[in-house]
Structure 1
Amino acid sequence: MTTSSRRAALSALLTLGLSAPLLGATAVSPAHGRRTPTRGTYASGPALPLPAGPYPVGRRVLHLVDRHRADPWVPAAGNRELMVSVSYPVRAIGGAPAAYMTVDEARLLLAARGLSGIVPAATVAGTRTHAHVSASPAPGRFPLVLLSPGFSMPRSTLTALADELAGRGYVVASVDHAYESVGTEFPGGRILTCAACEQVDTPAEEAAAVRGRAADLSFVIDELTSHRRGGVLSRMIDPRRIGIVGHSIGGAAAAATMSADHRVRAGVDLDGDFFVHPAGAGLGRRPFMMIGADSTHSPDSDDTDWPEAWSHLNGWRRWLTVTGAEHFSFTDLPYLADQLGLSDPAVPLSGVRGWSITRDYVTAFFDLHLRDMPQPILDGPTAGHPEVVFRDRV
């Protein structure tokens, strides 16, 4: 990927320009082929997919403070803060349903996309999840998987994946990196917005952002696996089985975390370039999977650093592209867009299909590498997933 094209791509995401879709679509008018919804049309509200695993899902929200680091974006704010939603398997359904996001977080997300007054913030915030607040954990010890969202995106955009993994018997920590989202609510009603979006421009700044996230994610591992600080959650986690997955720059952070922290055994990059060079280096023989949109991450693309990363992956590896996908196809957003009348007709892959592919390949990857369960779906193309192209195999 050239410096200029890489910078242009990241800039589009950081500024949330109208060319980068939210909820899977841009705010176009009906004349462009998409229905513009109106207030009052969401009687039941959107809902996330029901997790397929055998466990009900619990949710706890943690406010973590790293007292050994200052915030890199707003040093005057003091110590680095993170909001973390932990999804986990529970004994039985109990407790109030977990919220998708707060109304203020939804309002800021919609405003950044020019959708204020078109989609009510309360509708997005009220998206039905299938997790329950502080439900009693299931007995046993489970693998831990960390999730890092795209730059400017809140952690809630990976909720369906978090709850799916939890229902299958994983403890999942979804991380909001302070000042890297259009809006994240912290204790006391503080709303932190994307100060980082105004500060990342050069390749060196991009790489610094990725390394900062890697430090965040290692700190989350420290906290969750500490019996003193992690509490009941630490007793659920098997610290020998830790994985990581991220979307967009979160995918870069997944690789950077693995490079810096050998506690992480396996990682997945969902449609994100690496930004740190040499891309993909430092993982040793630990497994890593890259899955992205065919239009941007095929081997003949000039605008991706995946070929460089591929050359440095020395263990089990997969490079998969999805025909008809776009950048957000690997998140909740298109799935919700379908329900809100915001689907983009220019994106061939439906939100439901994008979710199904993401679910099937990510869960198979972790079942194989954190549970030693054979997964034929990862061995090559299948009739049930014709959109998924295996670019190479080892």
Structure 2
Amino acid sequence: MWRRVSRPEDGRVTEIIAGLYMSPPELLALSAGVALVVARWLPPAARPRVTIALGAVLVLSAIVLSVVGIRWQMLPVLAGAAVALPFALSPLLRHRSGRPAWRARWWLALPGSVVCLGLMATAPVSAWGFPVPVFPEPSGGFAVGTRVVQWTDPRRPETFTADPNDRRTVVVQLWYPARKSPAGAQRAQYLGRTEHEARIVSDALAHEVGLPGFLIDGVPRARSRSVFDAPVAGGGERFPVVLFSPGSGGVRTQNTAWAEELAGHGYVVAALDHPYDSAAVVLDDGRTIHTKLASTGDRDKDDKLAVDWTAVRAADLGFVLTRLEHLDRGEITDPLTGRLDTGRVAATGHSMGGAAALQAARQDQRFDAVIDLDGYPHGPTSPSLRRPTLALTQAITPGTDPDYIPRLTEALRLGTATSYRLTVPGAAHLTFMDGPLYLPPVPSIVGSLGRTESPHVVAATTLAFLDTTLRDKPGDLAGVLSTYGDLSVYPSGKGNSR
């Protein structure tokens, strides 16, 4: 099923046809190119007018695409059309000049037509495999605003540099319940505050996983569902706070669809960039800090490094919570002053960020709940977790990782509050972030849930957990979670202590 998704972007034509993930100019160029090749096989009387019309449409589409930006997926279309156009126009030009028209024999034209059509067919396939991501509309009752802040911890030296005066700095993106913006309001750029920043981050992420940057050039073109600096929702309601730490090499925006869904339901989400860990962090002064983390190839050494990096991330989460408390009290000037319920806070994260969330909750009693999105529990398992925890995982067997499930189970069993481990069928590691929206739908990479179901499952399960633990909403949480996969519950017999 296709649906047209309007994507206003600086006045440019950027509508995406969901299902094909192509804009109208791209579809027009593709259609004109295919029709131009097919026109060779029309009856002679129909060829001249059809060829001229299609050639005009093709040239016009190419001009529009050159203005709005040509994606690499369209290059085979333009190449095939460039090959076909001279052969289509040559008979017409020769006829106008009074010279005898020349046409290639069918047995020569047929292979050429097949080659051109084959080139053009790669466009919709590659656009579908590497699309401009289309973000789901938040289902909550609030519109969503977003803002980026940068905070420096004067008490913590930066351990990744040799400068003794360098202090730990983090970049934080906030998603929050907002008033509805006027029709046509420009939505927030994905991956960065500007398209330039988004391209820096996109290239760094591609490099991180060994992909050529051009393959995901649609990602920095995307816009999310939130609006930068939108006014905070009225009514005076105070919103629970959810802190988020991304995966190793990940960035603050990697779970934007999830953050927007939570904000639409009345939560404030604060997602962190961890400098020298995140793939690329663009600071307020324009400097870009790239990751310094790298595997040594030695498992024991890498495990020790992961413990150290997790500790830094956990400290970052605690620091950001402190700054949010200052913000809510008015010690930092901000529109969210007086609107944050910092007495109801969850620590969350994906992959290594999930491990950081577990450690932060162990060390800092201000966190009331924990969500671990497929994160191996690096670091000590003591003191015991005293807060309810939800761990979402892909299906992991002793053959794929003999340590993961036993380690995670130990951490949950030692907790003093009821915790849950939900194994989501069809999930992969990248299912739990925005990856399914813009990466090829290969099960081993993004799972088999699909681009629509992946964000829905992650949002529905985590919202049910947060509503129960932070808002004390009544209901059968275990029953809700079990509808999405294989659920294990670790009761303490002491209830959900907070």
Superposition TM-score, scaled by structure 1 size? 0.81
Alignment of 1:55-70 (within 5 A): 55-70=142-157
Cα distance change of structure 1 residues 234 and 205 upon mapping to structure 2, 3 Å threshold = farther
Offset at residue 47 of structure 1 (A): 1.6
Deviation at 1:296, TM superposition (A): 5.2
Conserved 8 A contact 1:361-1:377: no
CA–CA distance in structure 2, aligned partners of residues 196 and 206 of structure 1: 9
Which residue of the partner structure matches residue 186 of structure 1?
283
Query: Residue 258 of structure 1 aligns to which amino acid in structure 2?
Result: A
Structure-2 residue corresponding to 1:343: 441
For residues 351 and 66 of structure 1, do their structure 2 counterparts lie closer, same or farther at Cα, with a shift above 3 Å needed?
A: same
Between stretches 226-235 and 321-330, larger displacement belongs to 226-235
Partner of 1:159: 256
**Distance in 1 of aligned mates of 2:421 and 2:178:** 34
Unaligned segments of structure 1, at least 5 residues: 1-34
Q: Which amino acid aligns with 2:390?
A: M
1:171 to 259, 265, 268: 268
User: Residues 223 and 230 of structure 1 are in contact (CA less than 8 Å); yes or no, is this contact kept in structure 2?
Assistant: no
CA distance in 2, matches of 1:221, 1:199: 33
The alpha-carbon deviation at position 350 of structure 1 amounts to 2.3
Q: Distance in 1 between matches of 2:437 and 2:486?
A: 22
| SS across alignment from 2:293 | helix
Selected match of 2:394 from 293, 311, 319: 293
- Following superposition, the deviation at residue 236 of structure 1 comes to 1.3
Q: Secondary structure of the residue that 2:344 maps to in structure 1?
A: strand
Would the aligned equivalents of 2:385 and 2:412 in 1 still touch at CA under 8 Å?
no
Query: Partner letter of residue 87 of structure 1?
Result: W
Of the two, which has the highest radius of gyration? 2
Query: How far apart, in 2, do the equivalents of 1:381 and 1:105 lie?
Result: 34
Find the partner of 1:80 among 168, 174, 196.
Answer: 168
Quote how far apart the aligned CAs of 1:48 are.
1.3
Match of 1:48 among 111, 135, 141: 135
Change over 3 Å in CA distance of 1:117–1:380 after alignment to 2 = closer
User: Any conservation in 1 of the 2:242–2:345 contact (CA below 8 Å)?
Assistant: yes
Q: Which stretch shifts more, 263-272 or 183-192?
A: 183-192
Find the aligned partners of 1:390 and 1:230 in 2 and give their Cα distance: 43
Q: Is 1:131 the equivalent of 2:226?
A: yes
CA distance in 2, matches of 1:291, 1:138: 31
Partner deviation per Cα, 1:17-45 (whole Å, 9 max, x = no partner): xxxxxxxxxxxxxxxxxx98799948993
Q: Tell me what 1:20 maps to.
A: none
**Which consecutive unaligned segments of at least 5 residues does structure 2 have?**
1-120, 192-197, 492-498
CA offsets per residue over residues 83-125 of structure 1, 9 Å max, x none? 100000012225532111111111111233333254253x211
Asked if structure 2 preserves the Cα contact closer than 8 Å seen for 1:210 and 1:253, the reply is: yes
Within 2, Cα distance between the matches of 1:202 and 1:46?
A: 33
Indicate whether 1:228 and 2:331 are aligned: yes
Partner of 1:114: 210
2:350 equivalent to 1:262: no
- Map residues 378-393 of structure 1 onto 2, 5 A cutoff: 378-379=478-479, 382=482, 385=484, 388-393=485-490
Task: State the partner residue of 1:362.
Answer: 462
CA distance 1:100–1:375, shift in 2 (3 Å): farther
Residue among 189, 193, 206 paired with 1:99: 189
Q: Is the 8 A contact 2:295 2:302 kept in 1?
A: no
Give a deviation string over 1:192-249, Cα, whole Å, max 9, x none.
1111336894433222211111110111111111121263223210111111210001
| Deviation of 1:375 (Å) | 3.9
Q: Normalised by the size of structure 2, how large is the TM-score?
A: 0.65
User: Aligned equivalents of 1:133 and 1:55: distance in 2?
Assistant: 15
- Find the aligned partners of 2:126 and 2:450 in 1 and give their Cα distance: 24
| Partner Cα distance (2:269, 2:213) in 1 | 34
In 2, distance between residues paired with 1:132 and 1:66? 28
Please state how far the C-alpha of 1:343 moved relative to its aligned partner.
Answer: 1.5
Higher relative contact order (CA 8 A, sep 6+): 1
Q: In 1, distance between residues paired with 2:349 and 2:124? A: 33
Residue in 1 that maps onto 2:429? 327
| CA distance, structure 2, for counterparts of residue 132 and residue 298 of structure 1 | 45
Equivalent pair of 1:294/1:322 in contact (CA under 8 Å): yes
Distance in 2, matches of 1:296 and 1:230, equals: 49
What displacement does 1:189 show?
A: 2.3
1:345 Cα shift?
4.3
Check conservation: 1:48, 1:336, Cα contact below 8 A: no
Q: Which residue of 2 aligns with 1:309?
A: 411
Shift of 1:255: 1.0
More helix by share: 2
2:487 alignment partner AA: F
Cα distance in 2 for residues equivalent to 1:240 and 1:81: 25
RMSD across aligned positions (CA): 2.8
1:271 matched to 2:367? The reply is no
Number of aligned pairs?
350
Partners of 2:133 and 2:144 lie apart in 1 by 19
Q: CA deviation at 1:128?
A: 2.2
**Secondary structure of the equivalent of 1:156?**
coil
Q: 1:375 to 1:270 in 2, by over 3 A?
A: farther
SS at 1:294 equivalent: coil
The answer to whether the aligner puts 1:89 opposite 2:177 as a matched pair is: yes
Query: Structure 1, residues 234-280: CA drift from partner, whole Å, max 9, x if none?
Result: 3210111111210001111111111111111001101011111226x
Contact 1:147 1:174 in 2 (8 A): yes
Inter-partner Cα distance in structure 2 for 1:37 and 1:116: 18
